[in-house]
Amino acid sequence: MKSDRVVTSLSGPDSNLVDILDETRKHLVDFLKKVLSETYTQQELENFTVMTYQTPEFEKIRVEVCNMLLSSGNHSQDRHSAIHPSRVSALKEMIELLEHGQI
């Protein structure tokens, strides 16, 4: 059953939940930066495409980035899939929002 409670304290039993969300956010930002610079490994890409985030906001970003990579048309295992230039600004915006805790 999904809980709709809001974490309002950074101490006590809820602090672990906040820490996990912060670490997940940092991991997502790190991978998105690798996508921008095309420095991710094939293993990182495979892990990213098959994982599922527990928060709807993070999962929406994961799916959108996967679609960006798939729509690039560059899927060989020897090369990275470059993000289409028209999508780079959207990816940068996602990174900025995540870094500032707005997502």
pLDDT per residue as tens digits for the range 24-80: 999 999 999 999 999 999 999 999 999 999 899 999 999 999 999 887 655 544 455
Cβ neighbours of 56 (radius 10 Å):
8
Q: Taking the model in full, what pTM does it have?
A: 0.75
5 Ramachandran zone, left/alpha/beta (phi>0; psi -120 to 50)? beta
* Residue keyed to tokens 């990275």: 80
> Domain extents for the chain?
15-99
C-alpha 76/C-alpha 80 separation (Å) is 7
Structure tokens belonging to residue 52: 């599922």
